[in-house]
Structure 1
Amino acid sequence: MSLFGTLGIDVIFKPGAAAAVHITAPRSAPATELLRGCTPAEMANRARLLFALCGNAHATAAISAAEAAMQSVPSTQARRARLQMVAAEALCEHFFRVVVDWPAFLSEAPRTHALQRVADQVAQIKARMGSRLYWSGVEAQAMPHGELAAVLARSVLSEVFGDDDAPLDSPSSIDAWTHKAATPAARMLAHARQDEAQPLDEYPEQTVFGRWRNDPRLNGSEAAQRVLSRLLEIDTLGRGLADENYCEGACKLTVNVNDGDGRIASAAIDVARGRLHHHIEIHDGKVTHCSISSPTGRNFEQGGAAEQAICRIRTASRTSFERQARLLVMEIDPCVAYELRFH
């Protein structure tokens, strides 16, 4: 299923106590029905077109599950090219948050020229990708685009971190970079650090923060840890794009075969908002069943990561509460339009 429409998040503010949160899910469209009856290559390329924000991640998860079900192995070059496309896609999504959403939150002007430059670079990589990247098994082919990927990485990392070579290497280097406040990202982290730290539940969320929550560099308020998690993710994705030998670690892909006949398989891959899952069945070379579990669907279900995060806020100030809630929802980052309403 794919989501469209508006996500409703209604929050009842209770001074100094846990808030009450009610989430109204957006409408869903049976996108998986459009994938049934396809060959694996048709399914992957159709998924790439159906899902506007993470199309290449959907295509990679879909074809990887199909290949596992058919016991087919893609070439190393094709696998790396797919993962580089997923990394480029995710990096662009994170970059949008940094140069548009974060400046808006800080009452600064968006950096639209930088965003357009990065979007153009991603488009160049996609154009170079080759039409057979999502064919199955050894038939998959990829055009080399390592230099284009490296240029994209340099553009993003310089815009996000400025002239600092390794600002996230240690807590002390993070403090020094944040104190200089030379980029919107540094100013956003400084802003998020103003909030008082609260105990965090061990809720097993599959968000970017969920991937980094045990990193020793994370400290301070939950909002600050989520902002820093995004920055760590940007740094990792940038390094993965700059060196194709590292792309396997930048966008982790796992594949499982679920029955002895090898006709049922699943694949999961890290994307900009969490972890995306595809589960498929193959019979006679065609997809007979497909189900998709998206990060937004899980993070914004009742009782999910968004509700848990909002309910952890403790403050007597409604102004502070609303600001923290907006920042947390922005960082958990639904892939659809949303309305955050306070009562």
Structure 2
Amino acid sequence: MASADVPVEGSVRIQVVWDGARVDAARVTSRRPQPQSLLHGRELVDASVILPRLYSICGDAQGVAAMALEALTTSGELDPPATQPWRERLRLETVREHLWRLGLDWAQAAGFEPFPEPVKSLLSAREGLLEDRDMAAGWARQTRDALFGTARPARIDASVPESLQAWIEHADTPLAGLLRSLAGRLEGVGRARFSPLPSGCAEWLLADAARRLRSDPDYHWRPDVAGQVFEMGPAARSSGGARLNDGRRVSGPTMDAWTRVVARVFELERLLDALENHRPAMGELTGWRDEDAAVVSVEMARGVLMHWVRLEAGRIADYRIVAPTEWNFHPQGACREGLLGMEAGGEQELEERVRLHVMALDPCVRHELEVSRA
């Protein structure tokens, strides 16, 4: 039914003008399906059942957001006890996405032998991991050892620029081997100014988004705050003044594909560490409402996910989702910034560099590339 009512396949369209040596102009358009036609006229509680099935890639994040939105509009309580099991699902979903991207997608891109075992074991044991904390801790410990060995990056002195490089060069794990294969290919790819979402601004973001979503029917396709377009994802989350262990500041003026991949690796290690040591799933959950509408945001694998609803007579009149992909692949977002000035010795090399740049920004939909000669 969902596929008949809502086209679940979206896409990112990338158009570049190339002069044979560098990209002179770039246009990025993101079109992800919205659930409005499917949810219109329904009770809000239905959204938390329908949306996780509709958006399979990030279904648990969609469930958390929809459940929190329903609670906020009915009781004023943003984070009821019912959302707690979903938080654990969301944490495992984020781990799954990182394992999949690194062990399968990036391995394939690097021509490296895939290492699917961690994500396969997670998928097969997920329900047990959710129910048994000790089982989850054991799985996390085993996975950390397999991927990171004994010299895990989080335990390397972040103030020493050579520390990550030493681990990559000497660790005998598939993840370190993958990074050895990727480093030379990703450094400098898509390098551009870095504009992460500032920490502590969730309520400000939601209040502005609620106003814009009500008045602008296209806001969810090109979100901004006062003209600013922020980057979402692991690199943005780790940008609170910290350094990546290759010595470059995550919150510095530029970002490239290599640093984004390293940020994903560090976040994966932190998530596994939290599971191993029985620390609860956190995940920032924020909400805002007025008389007939409400909006919530939740941190998920790719960044901040927002759900907005407007109600009439207690039923859904309008429902829209702003996903991280719409920020990173905004017409003035991080994808376009990294494309402008991108150099390549030939069209095939250009296509490869664009592909790596897009992969590092991790859209939740496929992308299409069109190259025009200047």
Deviation at 1:337, TM superposition (A): 2.3
Please tell me whether the aligned partners of residues 70 and 282 of structure 1 are also in contact (alpha carbons under 8 angstroms): no
For 1:33, the aligned partner's letter is S
SS in 2 for 1:228: helix
SS in 2 for 1:70: helix
Which residue, out of 149, 167, 171, partners 1:162? 149
Aligned to 2:215: none
Deviation at 1:287, TM superposition (A): 3.4
Per the alignment, do residues 335 and 168 of structure 1 end up closer, same or farther by CA in structure 2, a change over 3 Å counting?
farther
Which residue, out of 327, 330, 333, partners 2:359? 330
Aligned to 2:163: 173
Per the alignment, do residues 155 and 321 of structure 1 end up closer, same or farther by CA in structure 2, a change over 3 Å counting?
farther
Which residue, out of 216, 227, 244, partners 2:243? 216
Per the alignment, do residues 222 and 15 of structure 1 end up closer, same or farther by CA in structure 2, a change over 3 Å counting?
farther
Percent sequence identity over matched residues?
Answer: 23
For 2:262, the aligned partner's letter is L
Deviation at 1:292, TM superposition (A): 0.6
Cα deviation code 1:71-101 (max 9, x no counterpart): 3437775443221111111110111111111
CA distance in 2, matches of 1:247, 1:85: 9
Per the alignment, do residues 336 and 202 of structure 1 end up closer, same or farther by CA in structure 2, a change over 3 Å counting?
closer
Which residue, out of 2, 20, 23, partners 2:25? 20
2:217 matches 1:185: no
CA distance in 1, matches of 2:114, 2:14: 25
Deviation at 1:196, TM superposition (A): 4.8
Please tell me whether the aligned partners of residues 30 and 325 of structure 2 are also in contact (alpha carbons under 8 angstroms): no
Normalising to structure 2: TM-score of the pair? Answer: 0.73
Normalising to structure 1: TM-score of the pair? Answer: 0.79
Which residue, out of 150, 153, 164, partners 2:137? 150
CA distance in 2, matches of 1:168, 1:224: 20
Mapping of 1:88-237 within 5 angstroms? 88-125=92-129, 144-167=131-154, 169=156, 170=158, 171-194=161-184, 195-196=187-188, 200-203=192-195, 204-213=230-239, 214-217=241-244, 219=247, 222-237=256-271
In structure 1, stretches of 5+ residues that fail to align are: 129-143
Aligned to 2:91: 87
Which residue, out of 37, 40, 46, partners 2:41? 37
SS in 2 for 1:338: strand
Please tell me whether the aligned partners of residues 37 and 287 of structure 1 are also in contact (alpha carbons under 8 angstroms): yes
Per the alignment, do residues 153 and 14 of structure 1 end up closer, same or farther by CA in structure 2, a change over 3 Å counting?
farther
Please tell me whether the aligned partners of residues 146 and 244 of structure 1 are also in contact (alpha carbons under 8 angstroms): yes
Deviation at 1:198, TM superposition (A): 8.8
For 1:235, the aligned partner's letter is E
Aligned residues: 320
Cα deviation code 1:148-185 (max 9, x no counterpart): 44344335433432343454542443222111253343
SS in 2 for 1:281: strand
Please tell me whether the aligned partners of residues 45 and 67 of structure 2 are also in contact (alpha carbons under 8 angstroms): yes
Cα deviation code 1:244-270 (max 9, x no counterpart): 54411xx2222223x2x4x53211112
CA distance in 1, matches of 2:332, 2:174: 32
In structure 2, stretches of 5+ residues that fail to align are: 1-5, 196-229, 249-254
CA distance in 1, matches of 2:260, 2:341: 14
CA distance in 2, matches of 1:186, 1:199: 23
CA distance in 2, matches of 1:75, 1:293: 20
Please tell me whether the aligned partners of residues 234 and 303 of structure 2 are also in contact (alpha carbons under 8 angstroms): yes
Cα deviation code 1:203-252 (max 9, x no counterpart): 3212332222442226457122111111122123223434554411xx22
Please tell me whether the aligned partners of residues 44 and 315 of structure 2 are also in contact (alpha carbons under 8 angstroms): yes
CA distance in 2, matches of 1:112, 1:340: 28
